[in-house]
């Protein structure tokens, strides 16, 4: 009996260490550490969990659990599941971690690339107007150099868009197969 309790205690400690470590790295997904701990708790739960069970396990409010689950759901890291006879919403982690990463990667990077492309377009427009107005040859040279830099930036963002498309379409797994 004591031996079994000790073994269960060791298992719990190992899980808690892992949960602590992954929660620190959840910032890569735009998720804070407390929501990362929620993810780890749901990950190691033996059955899908209700918000009440999550709240009790983490000692946090049900409102915090709801907010956390929403963030994890938007990142495709958890999913709502149905169980016969259970009226409350149940959640479990998404088993396909590749899918979760891809969804987060695509959403965050697509947004950043779109914003940067917009900034390139706006700056190019400003530079073109200035180029048409100025008679200062040194200014014209500087503008031309900036336009060349913008072209390199635009090429980079186009390439990054291609990388994003690889993830979006799932073609990345033909290049780097899932393990």
Which is more confidently placed, 108 or 178? 178
- Residue-level pLDDT at 175: 96
104, pLDDT greater than 90: no
Averaged pLDDT for residues 100-111: 87
Contact yes or no for 77/29 (Cβ under 8 A): yes
Angle made by CA atoms 136, 120, 171, in degrees to the nearest 5? 150
Structure letter (DSSP) for residue 176: S
Q: Where are the domains of the chain?
A: 2-94, 98-175
CB neighbours of 116 closer than 8 A, spacing ≥ 6? 153, 157
Contact yes or no for 106/57 (Cβ under 8 A): no
Contact yes or no for 79/91 (Cβ under 8 A): yes
Model-level pTM?
A: 0.74
Averaged pLDDT for residues 13-42: 91
Q: What is the Cα–Cα distance from 117 to 136, expressed in whole angstroms?
A: 28
1, pLDDT greater than 90: no
Q: Which two tokens stand for residue 123?
A: 């700056």
- Residue-level pLDDT at 147: 97
**How many Cβ atoms from other residues are within 10 Å of residue 97's Cβ?**
12
The dotted CATH code for 2-94 is 1.10.10.10
């Amino acid at each position: 009996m004591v031996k079994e309790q000790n073994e269960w205690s060791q298992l719990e400690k190992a899980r808690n260490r892992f949960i602590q470590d992954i929660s620190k790295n959840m910032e890569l997904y735009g998720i804070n550490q407390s929501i990362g701990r929620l993810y780890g708790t749901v990950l190691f739960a033996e059955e899908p969990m209700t918000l009440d069970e999550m709240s009790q396990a983490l000692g946090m409010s049900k409102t915090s659990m709801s907010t956390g689950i929403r963030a994890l759901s938007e990142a495709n890291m958890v999913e709502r599941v149905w169980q016969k006879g259970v009226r409350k919403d149940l959640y479990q982690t998404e088993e396909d971690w590749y899918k979760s990463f891809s969804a987060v990667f695509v959403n965050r990077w697509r947004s950043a690339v779109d914003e940067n492309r917009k900034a390139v377009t706006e700056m190019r427009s400003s530079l073109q107007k200035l180029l048409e107005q100025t008679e200062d040859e040194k200014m014209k040279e500087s503008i031309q150099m900036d336009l060349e830099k913008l072209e390199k930036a635009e090429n980079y963002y186009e390439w990054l868009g291609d990388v994003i498309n690889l993830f979006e379409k799932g073609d990345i797994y033909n290049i780097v197969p899932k393990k």
